[in-house]
Amino acid sequence: MQLSELLQAINVLEVKNEKNVEIQTIAYHSRKAKEDSLFVCIRGYKTDGHQYAQNAVDNGAVALIVEEFLPEISVPQYRVADSRKALAALGDQYYGHPSRDMTLIGITATNGKTSTSFMTNAILEANNWKTGLIGTVMVKYGDTLVPSILTTPESLDLHGYFDRMRKENISHVTMEVSSSALELSRVGSVSFDIVALNNISREHIDLHGSFKEYFNAKASLIREARADQFAVLNLDDAHSALLINETPATVVTYGIEDTSGYLQCRDIDLSTGRGNFTVEINKPFKTINGNTVEKTAFDIRLSVAGYHSVYNAMAAITIGLISGVDIETIQSGIESFKGVERRFQFIYEKDFKIVDDHFANAGNIEVTLETLMKMDYRKLHIVYAIRGSRGVTTNRENAETLAKWAPKLGLEKVIVSLSESHVIDKDDVLPEELEAFKEEMDKVGVEIELHKEMPDALESSLDQVETGDVILIGGAQGMDFGAKYILNQLVDKRPDLNAEEVLAPLGERVAGIDESFLGDD
């Protein structure tokens, strides 16, 4: 593609060394710059792409997108106000606007993005559509499955995925949209058809500066929706409900406690842990293809546990109806959904139990520990990977939630992992984050057994566990590899066990299997 054609997608403020050249690829990492590539200098939290522009040119880049001119470099330079927004627009232009050629669903929330996305995908698959899935666990479409590093890929990579999905005739894509992705324009120039904001609670406060900024980042997915889009909002969440009149999109609401929306949930039965309930459609609404969903009621049976799963299901059901899926297919699709790895996942259930959980923020921790309270066991062992580079506020709130539940759970010690060899730089645990965690544990007299490496922490839990106990391995990126290590350690320690059975949960696992990217900046 000619550079001049690519540049039509962005607003160039100034030009230095102008020249129209042929562009073969676009890159934002200097090491990925090749012959005849356009290098976009983006500023990150820790590094600035402008510092690597000469490396990109040395690797073959023939033009630069910059926010400030680099006088020592002689290739054409095009100055823009925001190179991240430019990267998104250039990626969309380069790949020929692929997101416009499929039904695209974007889901944001503090808690439940992943489960809601998987539930939605299960409904769409049940309708025999070819689907794609992008999120915290993986990118999946057709026979392709790629473990995720970011919840929402960088914009250029994202448009590349859409292009490959289009080539495989994917018709519907469900994706998680993180607050960071919204703030950093990773979903720039993405043509969503349905957007949803399920809930907002305190997380990433240090990253965004304040809760207000965090909320505004999340809310931008709804506020900046087009008039021909649909926005799905949860009336039981005050922040989500606040956006009803702040979007040009067609709004469809749902609620459990608030029954004034288009959909309400009633007669919830959680006696088995897995929710059964009735969905009542109170008011007719249009679907994406112009048909009308009429007033009616229907029953839903979930195969996943927890009250939070009911909320996730209500969002997925609403999205399914808007997409044009019939009620019977929604019922079968959502019942077939068996859960997401690392979301309160039982990975060993014999003489004792091992539970693997994402445990990423105070809301996740609250739900997980509340569920553990309802289980029968002798003693609880928690192996927790501290959330790295998320700031003191987030880590203190996580610790406060754990501390609140410690007396109820009889928890006297937490085995803590820094996972130094199993996270990339952006997830390293900072000294002040560890100190905040220690301070909150000290307040309730909970001992900390600290390990720099995650495998050592896991092995320690196996040395301490006894019959009838539960081991919870919890943590976000720092514990993604936990299941692989602890199950293999268990096989090594217990020759009496059937290795094939013990390792079976790893068979279709995505998170924490591929270690090739570790240490790669």
User: What DSSP character marks residue 429?
Assistant: P
| pLDDT band with cut points at 50, 70 and 90 for residue 510 | confident
Average pLDDT over residues 69-77: 96
User: Minimum mean pLDDT among 61-75, 202-216, 276-290, 316-330: which range?
Assistant: 202-216
pLDDT reported for residue 177: 96
What one-character-per-residue DSSP string does 92-110 give? Answer: HHHTT-GGGGSEEEEEE-S
HSE, side-chain direction, 13 A CA sphere, residue 202: 17
Angstrom distance (rounded) from CA 322 to CA 230: 8
pLDDT tens-place string over residues 420-441: 998 888 789 999 999 999 999 9
CATH architecture observed for domain 345-506 = Alpha-Beta Complex (3.90)
- Structure confidence at residue 44 (pLDDT): 78
Q: What is the mean pLDDT of residues 115-121?
A: 96
Locate the domains of the chain by residue range: 3-95, 98-336, 345-506
**Residue 203: per-residue pLDDT:** 57
**Does 182 have pLDDT greater than 60?**
yes
What is the spatial distance between Cα 419 and Cα 384, in angstroms, rounded to a whole number?
Answer: 10
Average pLDDT over residues 278-305: 96
| Mean pLDDT value of segment 209-228 | 93
Res. 259: pLDDT tops 70: yes
Please tell me the predicted confidence (pLDDT) of residue 521: 36
Is residue 229 over pLDDT 60?
Answer: yes
Among candidate residues 430, 408, 304, the one with its CA nearest the CA of residue 45: 430
SS3 for 336-405 is CCCCCCCCCEEEEECCCEEEEECCCCHHHHHHHHHHHHCCCCCCEEEEEECCCCCCHHHHHHHHHHHHHH
pLDDT in tens, 298-321: 999 998 877 888 999 999 999 999
Token output for 169: 């005739």
Tokens coding 24: 């073969």
The pLDDT-based confidence of 204 (bands split at 50, 70, 90) is low
The mean per-residue pLDDT over the stretch 468-488 comes to: 94
Residue 199: which pLDDT band, with cuts at 50, 70 and 90?
very high
Q: So what's the pLDDT on residue 341?
A: 82
Q: What percent of the chain has pLDDT over 70?
A: 96
Query: How far is the CA of 68 from the CAs of 12, 13, 35, 47, 169, in angstroms?
Result: 12, 10, 23, 15, 40
Query: What average pLDDT does the structure give for the chain?
Result: 92
Q: pLDDT category, 518, cuts 50, 70, 90?
A: low
CB proximity list for 503: less than 8 A, separation 6 or greater: 487, 488, 491
Residues 263-279 as b/e (b if ≥16 CB within 10 A, e otherwise) read bbbeeeebeeebbebeb
pLDDT given at position 263: 98
Position 461 pLDDT exceeds 90:
yes
Q: Are 385 and 512 in contact (CB under 8 A)?
A: no
CA atoms within 13 A on the CB side of 462: 19
pLDDT bin (cut points 50, 70, 90) of residue 125 is very high
Judge whether residue 196 has pLDDT over 70. Answer: yes
pLDDT at residue 520, as a whole number: 42
Burial class (CB in 10 A: 0-12, 13-18, 19+), 2: exposed
CA 415 to each of CA 407, 433, 484: distance values in angstroms, whole numbers, following the listed order: 16, 16, 18
CATH topology of domain 3-95: 3.40.1390
The CATH number of 98-336, from 3.50.50.60, 3.30.390.10, 3.40.1190.10, 2.60.120.10, is 3.40.1190.10
* pLDDT given for residue 206 in this prediction: 52
Instruction: Give the closest residue to 156 by CA, choosing from 107, 92, 104.
Output: 92
Q: List pLDDT tens digits, range 376-414.
A: 889 999 999 998 888 788 889 999 999 999 999 999 999
Q: Is pLDDT at 507 greater than 80 in this prediction?
A: yes
- Per residue in 89-109, pLDDT tens? 999 999 999 999 999 999 999
Comparing CA positions, the residue from 513, 132, 511 lying closest to residue 341 is 511
The whole-number average pLDDT for the span 462-488 is 95
The first and second tokens of residue 144, run together, are 């392709």
Report in angstroms the alpha-carbon separations of 515 from 455, 484, 519: 14, 11, 9
As to burial, measured by CB atoms within 10 angstroms (0-12 exposed, 13-18 middle, 19+ buried), residue 521 is: exposed
